Amino acid sequence: MNIFRLAGDMTHLFSVLVLLLKIHTIKSCAGISLKTQELYAIVFTTRYLDLFTTYISLYNTIMKLIFLGSSISIVWYMRHHKVVRRSYDKDQDTFRHYLLMLPCLLLALLINEKFTFLEVMWAFSLYLEAVAILPQLVLLQRTRNIDNLTGQYVLLLGAYRALYVLNWIYRYFTEENYVHWITWVSGIVQTLLYADFFYYYFQSWKNNVKLQLPA
Amino acid sequence: PPEGSFHDEL
């Protein structure tokens, strides 16, 4: 465990905590995309199937359970909680997220580290995670007056991705046989999506105008 | 651990 990996996991954890804080204390999920949250719930469910087959460390097991539990409970709150669900921007959150799943599944069947059920599901989860933020970015673009918690949530997620890239570079140079092309390529695609978004986000913040992404 | 069947990242 290197410092980049730990910092990456912690920013990921904080991003989830910020979201849960917003939902629990303010009882609001305004500006949060249910489509993205559903994709994350699927991402963690399909990636952590090895929870039952492989023990890595107590840290690893606990973090997996936290990400599984939090992503599923966020979806539950947004869909079913009688107060929280009323703040959901349903009409703005129109991204057809299920259309992302089929190409990711096909890609996972074609490109995987090993053609087994767990490995295909693992590759699928990485491809899906790379694009899972898209509905959230589209919703942010449409929403006026992004509140602080939503902005911090996306900022923390972006930091988590960037730190993971640093972690891979560090591991590549310090560990023997540490080569994971699928993780790297899908991770870099994901990080670029955030970088592109943040570029426009900071531009609009600097110029103090409403965020407007190019078509 | 066997190569390619062991993922220790989250």
> What per-residue confidence (pLDDT) applies to A215?
62
Give backbone dihedrals phi and psi of A83, rounded to 5 degrees, phi first.
Answer: -90, -50
**Terminal CA-CA length for chain A:** 40
Which residues neighbour B9 within 8 Å (Cβ) at sequence distance 6 or greater?
A5, A164, A167, A183
Which residues neighbour A85 within 8 Å (Cβ) at sequence distance 6 or greater?
A29, A77, A78, A79
Is residue A210 assigned to a domain?
no
B6 chain-A contacts, CB cut-off 8 A: 54, 56
Is residue A38 assigned to a domain?
yes
> What per-residue confidence (pLDDT) applies to A140?
87
The answer to whether ipTM exceeds 0.85 is: no
Token pair for residue B10? 């989250």
Is residue A215 assigned to a domain?
no
Among all residues of chain A, which has the CA nearest to that of B9? A60
Instruction: Reduce the DSSP state of residue A42 to 3 states and report it.
Output: helix
Question: Which stretches within chain A are classed as H helix?
Answer: 3-25, 34-47, 58-80, 98-110, 117-132, 134-142, 148-174, 181-206
> What per-residue confidence (pLDDT) applies to B5?
46
Mean pLDDT calculated for residue range A166-179: 93
pLDDT digits (tens, 9 = 90+) for A122-151: 999 999 999 999 999 999 888 866 788 888
pLDDT digits (tens, 9 = 90+) for B1-10: 444 446 999 9
**Dist CA A2 CA B9 (whole Å):** 11
A12 interfacial to chain B (CB closer than 8 Å): yes
Distance from CA of B1 to the nearest CA of A (A): 10
Nearest CB to B10 within list A9, A54, A116: A9
pLDDT digits (tens, 9 = 90+) for A45-66: 999 999 989 899 999 999 999 9
Is residue A192 assigned to a domain?
yes
Is residue A174 assigned to a domain?
yes
Mean pLDDT calculated for residue range A160-179: 94
Mean pLDDT calculated for residue range A140-165: 89
Mean pLDDT calculated for residue range A27-34: 95
- Tell if the CB–CB gap between A50 and B4 is shorter than 8 Å: no
Q: Which domain holds residue A192?
A: 3-205
A122 interfacial to chain B (CB closer than 8 Å): yes
Is residue A23 assigned to a domain?
yes
Is residue A144 assigned to a domain?
yes
Summary mean pLDDT of chain A? 93
Q: How many domains does chain A have?
A: 1
B4 interfacial to chain A (CB closer than 8 Å): yes
Share above pLDDT 90 across residues of chain A, in percent, rounded to a whole number: 81
CB A142 within 8 A of CB A129: no
**Dist CA A94 CA A74 (whole Å):** 18
Mean pLDDT calculated for residue range A72-89: 96
Q: Is the pLDDT of residue A208 over 90?
A: no
What band does A209 get if pLDDT is binned at 50, 70 and 90?
confident
Q: How far are the Cα atoms of A79, A101, A118, A166 from residue A72, in angstroms, in the given order?
A: 11, 18, 20, 28
